[in-house]
Amino acid sequence: MAKISITQVRGTIDRSIDQKRTLVALGLGRLHSKVEVEATPQILGMVKKVSHLISVK
pTM of the model: 0.93
Cα–Cα distances (Å) from 56 to 14, 45, in that order, read: 22, 13
Given this model, what pLDDT does residue 25 score? 97
Domain 3-56 matching CATH 1.10.10.10: the answer reads no
What digits encode the pLDDT tens for the residues 8-52? 999 999 999 999 999 999 999 999 999 999 999 999 999 999 999
Given this model, what pLDDT does residue 35 score? 98
**Dihedral sign computed on CA atoms, order 56, 24, 9, 53:** positive
In 1-57, where does DSSP find H-type helix?
A: 17-26, 41-49
Measured between its terminal Cα atoms, the distance across the chain in Å is 15
Given this model, what pLDDT does residue 42 score? 97
Residue 1 in this model has a pLDDT that exceeds 90: no
